[in-house]
Amino acid sequence: MSRLLQRAGLRFLLRHPWQYALSVAGVALGVAVVLGVDIAAGGARKAFDASRELVVGRATHQAVPADPFLADEIYTRLRVELGVAAAAPVLEGRIRAGGETFSLIGIDSFAEGPFRDYLDTGADGIDLTALLTRPGTVAMTRQAARARGLSVGSRVPMDDAAAPTALEIGALLELDDARSRGADGLLFADMAAAQELLGRVGQLSRIDLILDADGEQRVKDWLPQGLELIPTAAQASSLDQMTRAFRINLLALSLLALLVGAFLVYSTLSFLVVRRRTTFGTARSLGVAPGQLFRNTLYEALLVGVPGTLVGIVLGLVLGVGLTSLVLRTVDDLYFRVQVQSAGIPPLSLLKALLLGLGTSLLAAVPPAVEAARTAPRSMLTRASLERRIRRQLPWLAAGGLALAFLGWLLLRAGTDSLVLSFAGLFAVVVAAALCTPPGLAALMAATERMARDGGGQVTRLAARGVTASLSRTGVAVAALTVAISTVVGVGLMIASFRGSVDQWLQQTLTSDFYFAIDEAFEAGGSDVDAFVAELAEVPGVADVTRSQRRRLTTGDGQVRLWAVDPGSRDLTITFLEGDRETAVASFLDGTGVLLSEPFARKRGLVVGDTLSLPTPDGPRSWLVTGVFIDYSSDQGSAMFSLEHYRSTWNDPGLQGIGIMAEEGQRDVLRPRLESFLAAHAGLEFAANAEIRQISLEIFDRTFTITRVLQLLVGLVAFLGMLSALQALQLERIRELSVLRAVGWTPRGLIGLILGQTGLMGLGAGLLALPVGIILAALLVFVINARSFGWSMDFSLEPMILGQALLLSVVAALLAGAWPAWRTIRTATAAGLRDE
Amino acid sequence: MSGPEPMSRSFRRPLLALVISGLLSACGAGKEPTGARVADYLGAGAGEGFARAQPGHRLAFPQDHGAHPRYQSEWWYFTGNLEGDAGRHFGFMFTIFRFALTPEAALRASEWGTNQAWMAHFAVTDTEGQALLKSERFARGGAGLAGASADPFRVWLYDWSASAAGGDGPFPMRLSAREDDYAVELDLSPAKPLVLQGEQGYSQKGREPGNASHYYAYTRLEARGQVVLDGEAHEVTGSAWMDREWSTSALGDDLAGWDWFALQLDDGRDLMFYQLRREDGGRGPFSQGALVAADGTRRGIAPADVRLKPRKWWRSSETGRRYPVSWRMRIDSLNLDLEIAARLPAQEMNLNVAYWEGAVSVTGSRGERGVGYLEMTGY
């Protein structure tokens, strides 16, 4: 008997190929999005790990200077006097060669063994003798060399004036893909060559160490002032933290897609069950046990779930490639340098997708399966009684939705420190909205009906009633559409708010007309920054010159970005969120206080009046926090000092940025004068403020490309859901429509009725989605973003986005209704009446 | 010491290779360069351009205690037998090697720039504990990380060093090496004067002239100090041996390895003998020996006079190699018939390159007793 049932189920699906295909597609898309995002996040993670391995290796600690560099004799003394066995010196810097900027890493290959493996690539092809004994010799990965048409012995002209005029490729490193991705822009050199190439003879960036507890104490006691011993675990976790928020955000979006996919499975299977009430009733009277019907429905869920999951996995792999490059580009833009390339496919991701696809299908099938098992023998529920029951359930759905919304609110409140809890709360709110959709729709339709009755619109009344009457079939689809549209609204509003805030911030911050960016090559090329600034100030047409330096300080709590600013003769162009502007600026100028960017203050829980302690060459020092300012330049945040104070504290005479204010009306003539400096110095870049603003916004938009792509996919899944549900509905209604046709409705009238009905559904979904979307946006802006990245922003309620969403909802519903309508009209004839 | 002579090709070249491969791998043991890789590293005509040992060249001190960077390889080799409280026996071996990667050093602005690579091996044999503790290190000859100076005498690689402890010349010498779980801290002073091996310090290694090394030794040093095992310090006294050699030389292709003996008899005589073994098991030409009498006078031993016979073999479970760990040595011209036995069979130095180097005891047929060190390669 059960086999008979199974075959009946399969045949039913095959007899409704569109219905079947749509639900398979729904599952497939959901699975694909989850898998694609998983692969992409894995790729980001791998790139991140590879970078970290290259940077940190197996070091347990790093000795880092508060100055930019430390004297290399400290390393010698550490090894020879203190006898620390596992220690390796590192010197890092940038050089420009062959028209490209590379990160150059100087190492002592004799000491590298315990730390990093990248030199251990077999004897073939690595001529360490050349690297050790020939000046100007560097190593790069084979992949990087191939990409640039280089090989061992190639010479790459250096773009700066420092010592040798060309780099020689002395060796190629054979790294696996993941590691070489992390190493594309890297050059490795022996310490001697690195010191010479970077113009840093006698200097190191840091010392890597492998220490146990005793060793740690010994080294700590021994280290001269100005050097700090930092466990790498702290750094690793701060690096991990850096991308964590980003990854969780991606995951949340992908789960949303799966959620919508689950709605789709649920709606299809409900449809299957409802359609076969008679069959089940007959089966029951023939002695089929309720349990068998239950299992049978689950089996049918697998008929959808298995092909859906498999197709989804294939799609997901394809999607993964595209998303990976999007994610890596974002990581590259925002966090650290990685090469954009596709990552491998982690088997665990495949398994996850498989389980998620099948599990979701089965889970979504449970309510319909219960429904099927409850079927009474022969005494079938009529459609009408079914709909009545659904309508009786509406208040309960609403109550459930409200309860869930309350739960979501609790989660959001509890999750101040936990992004996962915050997202769980967000999801609860989304699901609550989905639950409230059928009752909400019923209420909307009742209102419409009343209005139509008063206004005398018969078709509208019929349509509105039709929507309410078919809630068993359409409720889920409308809920899915509501969720999708509200996501569109929520994410759209969030991005718009964010973008608006960033743009406003850029305008306020970029007050100079032109900017020079300076890198290490400038000094290595023999130029002096202060002399350059003085020279610039003398250029006719220059009204004012501002200077800034950025620097990462490694501390026990991870890295701190210092931002040292000399605003010239103008006021600081930052906007304060906290603190009294006058006091803050005064303390900034006299060096008694520190100004923190918002993400920095949030991440460390610092407020005005607290103190911030930082390592300096003279030992740790504390500053009073006197202000918190808006800054979107990094989600890691920075601590701001006046340039003068920074220079005297950290002995760093360098500059990274110079801003130039033109005299009134001199902008255009000044530009070529300033650009003429580019030829005279190495390591200079030049841009006008508008260009920087544009580039910044481009990066911003690129960052959210992946969000928009995922948003689109969620919408697509929802659209499929609508299509599937409406088709199911119209199939059911052929008889009813045939009657209408028989009583004289024209095909055009029928189409109007059907489209009116679906349009109303879309409109209802859209209207319900608007408040939900606004709530979502508010949660994203004020809760999720603030907790993920530490940024606050102005909430802007763009009417455009709301209008578009409403339109999208109606159009999606109409589109989804058009095909079933057309089919129905074709079949809604006398033949339709003969159906039974 | 031992290493000196035969090290030329079958050992020294691998050593140079392993210095380089040692840079690459973690300082773990068990990795062994193959002949092919050695050849890859060195290529043909490896010795081209380097300085070569010349017959008739007179060694000069203290300068020659320091490094000779123009020669391809060089070492400061210390071994010794020590006794702790209640006669507990320890052996130690401490060697610092220097290799020139190129004949000439480029002129560099950075002090890290160098063409010199350094390596050190350090082992302690705990006879009672039946254990050999061993380790190796690598460093560049720049930035003060490793090097050798003649006056005041100091040879060092990181914190491992042998250095003059305040006297006039290299002695008294302080030898200091520390690992995580073992360490040696010894004061050495000569019981006999310096001995020039070979012909006035010129030791022929192959047929062509210049295929030779400069070689001198202190065959008996009084040692006093500490051996630390697992944090426990043992006060020790005993006798040590120091060998110094530098060369740019190569061994014949048909040689498989060597057996090198450095023996100190209770009657005050010291005996050095090495035999170069051919692939076919026979003894190669240019094997050498010398006896240093109690008063320090040296006398060469004709290799033909020395009959050597392995008595007992030991198989290393780590490398699967078999080493003869007990020997009978008969030198009729000296009226010696000695049994030489490892204090512990398991004294294989399984580092980047594997060889056997260990403390031995000596018993003679006429009641002679003594201690020594034995080095065996190519098994």
pLDDT tens sequence across A46-58: 766 666 666 667 7
Residues shown for chain A: 836
Q: How much is the pLDDT for A11?
A: 79
Confidence category of residue A70, pLDDT binned at 50, 70, 90: very high
Domain membership flag for residue B177? yes
Average pLDDT of chain B? 86
Give the pLDDT score at B6.
Answer: 31
Place of tokens 């050992």: B11
Q: What is the C-alpha to C-alpha distance for residues A741 and A828, in angstroms, rounded to an integer? A: 7
SS3 label, residue A779: helix
Mean pLDDT of A172-184: 70
Q: Which range, A478-492, A526-540, B247-261, has the best average confidence (pLDDT)? A: A526-540
Q: What percent of chain B has pLDDT over 70?
A: 87
Is the minimum CB–CB distance between A111 and chain B shorter than 8 Å?
yes
CATH code of B235's domain: 2.40.370.10
* Cα–Cα distance, A49 to A43 (Å, whole number): 10
Q: Please give the residue of chain A at the shortest CA–CA distance from B177.
A: A83
**Cβ contacts (< 8 Å) between A111 and chain B: which residues?**
139
Query: pLDDT at position A81, please?
Result: 94
Q: Does A110 touch chain B (CB under 8 A)?
A: yes
- Of A245-254, A785-794, B35-44, B45-54, the range with the lowest mean pLDDT is B35-44
pLDDT averaged over every residue in chain A? 81
- Give the C-alpha separation, B368 to B230, whole Å: 35
Integer Cα distance of A206 and A556 in angstroms: 14
Phi, psi of A376 (to 5 degrees): -80, 150
The model's pLDDT over A7-55, given as tens digits with 9 standing for 90+, comes to 777 777 787 777 778 778 878 887 888 888 788 777 766 766 666 666 6
What is the per-residue pLDDT across B340-373, written as a single tens digit (0 to 9) for each?
999 999 999 988 778 899 999 999 999 999 999 9
- The CA angle B310-B313-B315, to the nearest 5 degrees, is 150
Whether the predicted pLDDT of B25 surpasses 60: no
Min Cα distance B112 → chain A (Å) is: 5
A192 to B102: CB separation less than 8 angstroms, yes or no: no
Query: Is B75 a domain residue?
Result: yes
pLDDT digits (tens, 9 = 90+) for A413-467: 887 777 788 888 888 888 898 888 888 888 888 888 888 777 667 777 877 887 7
Residue type, A191: M
Range name among A337-351, A413-427, B236-250 with the lowest pLDDT average: A337-351
Nearest CA among A131, A116, A197 for reference residue A169: A131
Q: From the CA of A119, how many Å to the nearest CA of chain B?
A: 6
Question: A74, A133, A188, A209: which to substitute to probe chain B, counting the most B Cβ within 10 Å?
Answer: A133
The pLDDT of residue B22:
42
pLDDT given for residue A302 in this prediction: 86
Minimum mean pLDDT range among A77-81, A773-777, B352-356 = B352-356
**Which residues from chain B sit within 8 angstroms of residue A110, using beta carbons?**
22-23, 117, 138-140, 145
Question: Percent of chain A beyond pLDDT 90?
Answer: 15
- The tens digit of pLDDT for each residue in B85-97 reads 889 999 999 999 9
- Residue B52 is assigned to a structural domain of this protein: no
The nearest CA of chain A is from the CA of B206 a distance in Å of: 27
- What confidence category does residue B150 fall into, taking pLDDT thresholds of 50, 70 and 90? very high
Q: Quick check: B145 and A79 CB within 8 A?
A: yes
Taking CA atoms, what residue in B is nearest to A116?
B26
Rg, chain B, Cα only: 19
Q: For residues A122 and A114, give the distance between their C-alpha atoms in angstroms, rounded to a whole number.
A: 16
Establish if B166 belongs to a structural domain: yes
- Confidence (pLDDT) at B115: 93
Q: Where are the beta strands (DSSP E) in A98-185?
A: 100-107, 137-141, 155-157, 166-173
What is the per-residue pLDDT across B269-292, written as a single tens digit (0 to 9) for each?
999 999 988 888 888 888 899 999
Contact flag B26-A72 (C-beta cutoff 8 Å): no
Least confident of A154-163, A317-326, A476-485: A154-163
- Indicate whether B56 belongs to any domain: no
pLDDT band at B337 (very low <50, low <70, confident <90, very high): very high
The answer, yes or no, to whether residue B141 has pLDDT greater than 90, is yes
- For A638-686, write each residue's pLDDT tens digit: 899 999 999 999 888 888 889 999 988 888 899 989 988 887 777 788 8
Q: Does A152 touch chain B (CB under 8 A)?
A: no
How many domains does chain B contain in total?
1
User: What is the pairing mode between strands B306-315 and B154-157?
Assistant: unpaired
Which amino acid makes up residue A390? Answer: I
pLDDT band at A386 (very low <50, low <70, confident <90, very high): low
**Rg over CA atoms, chain A:** 33
Question: Residues, chain B, total?
Answer: 379
DSSP one-letter string for A160-199: S-SSSSEEEEEEEE---HHHHHHTTTEEEEEHHHHHHHHT
Q: Residue B320 is encoded by which pair of tokens?
A: 């699967």
Q: How high is the pLDDT of residue A180?
A: 66
- CB nearest A133 (choices: B37, B106, B179): B106
Q: Which of A808, A765, A700, A285 is nearest to A480 (CA)?
A: A765
Per-residue pLDDT tens for B51-69? 999 999 999 999 999 999 9
Q: Which of A85, A120, A192 sits opposite B24 (nearest CB)?
A: A120
Question: Has residue B206 got a pLDDT over 70?
Answer: yes
pLDDT for residue B295 is more than 80: yes
pLDDT score at A480: 76
Confidence of residue B29 (pLDDT cuts 50, 70, 90): very low
Residue B51 lies in a domain: no
**This prediction's pTM:** 0.68
**Domain around B154:** 6-45+62-376
Residue A231: pLDDT over 50? yes
Which residues 143-162 on chain B approach chain A with CB closer than 8 angstroms? 143-145, 156, 158-159
What per-residue confidence (pLDDT) applies to B34?
29
